[in-house]
Amino acid sequence: MTDIFNSNKRSDIMKKIGPKNSKQELFIRKLIFSLGYRYRLHSNDLPGKPDLVFPKYKKVIFINGCFWHHHICKRGKLPETNKEFWEKKILGNVKRDKKNYDKFKELGWSVLVVWQCEIKTKNTEYLQQKIKSFLVI
């Protein structure tokens, strides 16, 4: 399958994707706040700059895009064009993620990953349960 955009247009699109304050992240932050939990954002002093930090509980949440972190879902599929570049890029992300998650375990912290596809389904009840069961001490 070929890309529907030319390489310049695709490059412009990819440059606009930022690491913070995505729609999915804002959705999860609002959901967690409604559950009564308070958190810190994007802590630079922790491995991987987690999206949400709960210092009181020694827990962090990463809100991962399925494509960028190679989730096993249809959104996590690697593109057919420029395959070698994307494999190196995305698999490097996966390797870095695992290293960061392992560092948290060494520090005695727990990690939860919420995937973009879980949020896109808007199954709020499922997400609330997943997050509540993670944050319970």
The total of structural domains in the chain comes to 1
pLDDT in the model for residue 103: 97
pLDDT in the model for residue 75: 85
| CATH code assigned at 45 | 3.40.960.10
Q: Across the chain, where does the E strand assignment appear?
A: 40-41, 52-54, 59-64, 110-115
Residue 45 amino acid letter: D
38 belongs to a structural domain: yes
> What phi and psi, each to the nearest 5 degrees, are found at residue 101?
-65, -40
CB atoms within 10 A of CB 37: 16
14 belongs to a structural domain: no
pLDDT in the model for residue 83: 86
Three-state DSSP class for residue 109: coil
Which segments of the chain have a pLDDT < 50? 1
pTM of structure:
0.82
Range of the domain at 71: 20-135
Residue 112 amino acid letter: L
pLDDT digits (tens, 9 = 90+) for 82-109: 889 999 999 999 999 999 999 999 999 9
pLDDT in the model for residue 2: 58
Tell me the two tokens of residue 98.
């695992």
